[in-house]
Structure 1
Amino acid sequence: MRKPGSAWAELLRPRNVGAEPVGHDRLGYARASTARQSLDSQLDSLAEAGVTRIFSEKISTRAAQRPELDKAVALAGELRASRVRVTLVVHEHKRLGRGIELATLAEKLKASDVGLEFLTGELQGSHDPSGVVFTVLAALSGMEREYIRDRTLEGHESARKRGKTIGGAGVTDGDMLSMALHLRDRR
């Protein structure tokens, strides 16, 4: 540090800078998009990979806030600050997010010096969260999601043109129709 007209003065260095990590902790994260989906295969996969602390939730990828993921990232940062080497382990990259969401999370992990590992999928293996390959693949996964969405909407439109009903349960009799209309009008 130096002020104009004065000599250089070295600042005190943080205690952890340059220090070797003390141990290694692997934190796991599992997510299902809906309450009906099971987390069992992801939890089994994480356990087989030697992960002992697992954060899990059933919440859509589109949710802006994912409390359990936020807790996992916060704990990873705290552990890393105490000189423990940390890796966030996830079954597949799609469990974290796609496209820009995944890239943003990766930057957050990189800033905390937390490693990232995927057990399956296109990004299987350990990654430098800010690496070019990781960023490109994250962007491609976002594009893949949009492609799937577009194809689904295209299929729905095609079915509608042919007179087919898309989604939901069909009304089977007059009583059901009456009840459905009654419930709708109560809103």
Structure 2
Amino acid sequence: MSRGYAATSIDSVAELIQATKGLIYYYFKSKSDLYLAIHLQAMDMSLNSVVPVVNGPGTPSERLRQMINIHAHLLMDNFAMHKVSLEGVSAHLSGSTTPTQRQVLADLIKMRDTYESLYKNILQEGIETGEFRKLDPKIGAKLLLGMVNWMTIWFRPEGGSGTRGIDQIASEAADFAMSGVRNTGASMDTAMG
């Protein structure tokens, strides 16, 4: 599904993994079911990678930078999976779904909300310690994740993203994101007034 959900057929998946359509349909009743399984795997991978950092040692700044770096690495290292999963649950919510698919979608939304809350909570912690500027943590979390998730639009795993390696891109993404939340000592009102 590296070309995205809409442009991928079960035939192309079968060809890629050198299997028959029948074998794929044995495990997944529809392309939507396959998509949902990919999305669940991507969300599990993200949660399992970031939760230890959230609960680990370090300042809010150190942990948030590490969380962003990990998220960027996950997107680039598992590009096709994350590109497909980030096409959005909303596209599937508007289509016809089975009761089982609706339950999986509800579970995915819950997982996405949990993942987002990890960022929201670390932002709140950093605001309380004075490391981060005053901002709405919920909006801040959405902006941070939106920025990093946009990599699925411009990053090219085959090298079309320039000469920079994945480590450097992830590090620059984390540095850039941190510059947006860091408390520099002057409020925005003071700086603009």
So what's the TM-score if we normalise by structure 1?
0.30
Which structure is higher in helix share? Answer: 2
Pick the structure with greater CA Rg.
1
Q: TM-score, normalised by structure 2?
A: 0.29
